[in-house]
Amino acid sequence: MKRPVWLLLPFSALVLDFLSKVWILKLLHFEGDSISVIEGFFKLTLGFNKGAIFGSLRDAPEWLRAGLFTLAGIAALVYFGRLFLAEETPRLERVALGLIIGGAMGNGLDRLLHGYVVDFLDFVFGTWHYWYFNVADSCIVVGGILFGISLLTEKKAPKTVPTD
């Protein structure tokens, strides 16, 4: 498959994440608003994450958060984007990278538009309550898992040592 076609993957993840957030913001209006989908297991709960993963850095000054998130986002896009576009990148690794890039762009777009990330997927397992998350977070996690699998399973061509 040609590389330009592969660009549909991160773009699709970005669009799906964006549309899901537009939908949830029309459905729920205030942070903490919630609708039960599967009683005792899954709810749609509106949350605004000003921090990083699991809300870390949410109490840091805005200038620090904005600077860190901007630098981290640019560094991630450059690093993962280079791997994603490299011709020799194996298919599974490219899928993983496409999901990671699309998810990162989705959350980055949120930070640009709102100053925070919109989260709304809310799961409870017995007495354990998981943090709210969104489609972009799901893409990043699934992409990370696939990336790890690809690193463990892809056969790399052995390096040849030149002989004189």
Q: pLDDT tens for residues 8-57?
A: 999 999 999 999 999 999 999 999 999 999 999 999 999 998 866 655 66
What whole-number distance in Å separates Cα of residue 117 and Cα of residue 72? Answer: 15
Between 13-22, 45-54, 72-81, 88-97, the lowest mean confidence (pLDDT) is in: 45-54
Answer whether residue 75 is part of any domain: yes
Question: pTM score, two decimals?
Answer: 0.83
pLDDT at res. 53: 61
In a domain, 160, yes or no: no
Q: What is the mean pLDDT of residues 158-164?
A: 60
Residue 116 belongs to some domain of the structure: yes
Total structural domains in the chain? 1
The residues annotated as belonging to the active site are 119, 137
Do the domain assignments include residue 134?
A: yes
Structural domain contains residue 22: yes
pLDDT of residue 51: 67
Is the CA virtual torsion 45, 50, 54, 59 positive or negative?
Answer: negative
Residue 164 domain flag: no
- pLDDT score at 49: 86
Is the pLDDT at 109 greater than 70? The verdict is yes
Could you tell me if residue 29 is inside a domain? yes
2-20 b/e (C-beta count within 10 Å ≥ 16 → b): eeeebeebbeebbebbbeb
Short-list 141, 145, 116, 119, CA closest to 131 = 119
User: How does residue 75 score in pLDDT terms, banded at 50, 70 and 90?
Assistant: confident
Q: Which domain holds residue 131?
A: 3-52+65-153
Please tell me the distance from the alpha carbon of residue 146 to that of residue 164, in angstroms, as a whole number.
Answer: 40
Q: What is the number of other CB atoms lying within 10 angstroms of the CB of residue 148?
A: 11
Question: Quick one: pLDDT band at residue 100, thresholds 50, 70, 90?
Answer: very high
Amino acid at 26: K
57 falls within a domain: no
